[in-house]
Amino acid sequence: MGLLRRVLIIGTGGTIASEPTPGGYAPLRNDAFFRRIRQHPQLSDPDSLSSRSGTATPTFSSPVETVPVGKNIRYPTLRTPVLDEHGARVEYEILDLDRHLDSSEMTPAEYNIIASLLEENWDLYEGFVILSGTDTLAYTASILSFLFTNPGKPITITGAQIPLSQPRSDGWTNLLDSLYVAGVLPYAGVGIVFHHQVFHGCRATKTSPNLFNAFQTPCVPPLINLNVKITHQSRLPPRSSALPPRIIPLATSPTVISASIHPGITGTLLAAQIDAVPTCRAVILSAYGSGNLPISEEAGILGALRKAVDKEILVVVISQCPIPNVYPLYTQGRTLLEIGVLPGYDLTHEAAFAKLLWLVSRKDLTFKNRQELFQIPVTGEMSVEGGARGL
């Protein structure tokens, strides 16, 4: 008998768990999701099911005995068939959050719940899979990358473009690949598993609501390609028996605001947005090209930003370009840096948001510490070489 690895799946909703309703797909929370997985021979070995229950292989309508875990529900243990030539299998449980959400409803409060569940179950499993809607999946992955730096175990995040309840669902493959990565591969870290690839969690962005390969990491190659041959970067972060991570609770009041620069934007518009949120501690400016925005007197943007920095609000500039990189080549970009606006290098919007939320949630840091830490890669989220610093 080969290796048997234990994996916990945390279900949060999203398309993968959705059913058609008169109002469109909705991530209903019922046991049909578990029943479908239990019937799928690549995800649930029928022999192991019948030998455990001592009865015939369950059918779709066989009873499901769930266990309440706080407000959440745990489904019975399932076991995959053999997943590799060494006989490795994965035994796993699905823990469904009490509310299934479309991922556009996710907030820092949900990230805190997911992080606490990971922490509570850390010693019981060798790997974790988070099921999420794809719309904000890259945000979830980025946030978890900051909460669990160098985790020593895999935390994979996946979802689907077509629900498991519908024909041609890509969720089956994504789920199987995730169990394989979380349970079997010699890899540890926060990674997005989608369409036969594993991406660095804090480098990814959703690039299509239609294509099955919906995620990309614009500035770095994928970590792992799960083709007939599995190929990966020469150095994957290894599994280790490191101590469980100590997570910090994320601030749940609105702390990070985001503004996209567009022609005609003024300082008044920006200031109105910042002033409307008394708990604001950070601002992301999605600027043009290499980090440019209007700096003329008439636009009045510099004044608004200077005021924000004086109030100890972190102001950072990232690029609107699909392959981002902030280089202050032009007067506009340089002037921003001079007034204390920080360069976001090649951060995606998702990673910039996650980093700022994590920084402003850390009570042990002063404003100056936060400014400094923002400019240093913490969890592989950005490359600073040749970026704004080098100029």
Cβ neighbour number for residue 56 with a 10 Å cutoff:
10
Residue 93 sits in the site that holds ligand ASP (CB under 6 A): no
Nearer to ligand ASP, 162 or 378 (CB): 162
Tell me how far, at minimum, the Cβ of 163 lies from ligand ASP, in Å.
Answer: 8
For ligand ASP, which stretch binds (CB under 6 A), given 98-106, 168-176, 260-268, 296-304? 98-106
Residue number with the shortest CB distance to ligand ASP? 133
Nearer to ligand ASP, 18 or 325 (CB): 18
Answer whether 259's CB lies under 8 Å from 299's CB: no
Task: Supply the DSSP string of 159-199, one letter for each residue.
Answer: --SS-TTSTT-THHHHHHHHHHHHHTSS--EEEEEETTEEE
Nearer to ligand ASP, 8 or 164 (CB): 164
Q: Which among 12, 15, 140, 205 is annotated as catalytic?
A: 15
Residues 148-167 that bind ligand ASP (CB under 6 A): 159, 161
Q: Where are the beta strands (DSSP E) in 215-298?
A: 215-216, 224-226, 230-232, 256-260, 282-287
Nearer to ligand ASP, 156 or 379 (CB): 156
Q: Tell me the CA distances in angstroms from 17 to 23, 31, 67, 211, 323, one per residue in order.
A: 16, 10, 19, 18, 31
Tell me how far, at minimum, the Cβ of 110 lies from ligand ASP, in Å.
Answer: 12
- Could you give the CA distance from residue 269 to residue 339 in angstroms, rounded to a whole number? 19
Answer whether 382's CB lies under 8 Å from 344's CB: yes
Tell me how far, at minimum, the Cβ of 178 lies from ligand ASP, in Å.
Answer: 15
- Sign, CA dihedral 24-30-34-36, equals negative
Question: Which of 8, 10, 11, 15 is the binder for ligand ASP (CB under 6 A)?
Answer: 15
Q: Which residues pair with 282 in a beta bridge?
A: 256, 314
Tell me how far, at minimum, the Cβ of 267 lies from ligand ASP, in Å.
Answer: 34
Nearer to ligand ASP, 15 or 217 (CB): 15
Tell me how far, at minimum, the Cβ of 25 lies from ligand ASP, in Å.
Answer: 7
Tell me how far, at minimum, the Cβ of 112 lies from ligand ASP, in Å.
Answer: 19
Tell me how far, at minimum, the Cβ of 346 lies from ligand ASP, in Å.
Answer: 25
15 is catalytic: yes
For ligand ASP, which stretch binds (CB under 6 A), given 40-48, 96-104, 186-194, 344-352? 96-104
Nearer to ligand ASP, 170 or 381 (CB): 170
Tokens 């949120």 belong to: 277
- Could you give the CA distance from residue 213 to residue 192 in angstroms, rounded to a whole number? 12
Residue 14 sits in the site that holds ligand ASP (CB under 6 A): yes
Answer whether 129's CB lies under 8 Å from 156's CB: yes
Residue 286 sits in the site that holds ligand ASP (CB under 6 A): no
Binding mask 102-141 for ligand ASP (x = CB under 6 A): xxx----------------------------xxx------
> How many residues comprise the chain?
391
76-97 residues labelled b (16+ CB within 10 A) or e (exposed): bebbbeebeeeebbbbbbbbbb
Q: Count residues contacting ligand ASP (CB under 6 A)?
A: 10
Q: Closest Cα to residue 72, out of 19, 11, 134? A: 11
For ligand ASP, which stretch binds (CB under 6 A), given 101-109, 148-156, 263-271, 316-324? 101-109
Question: Which residues contact ligand ASP (rule: CB under 6 A)?
Answer: 14-15, 102-104, 133-135, 159, 161
Catalytic residues: 15
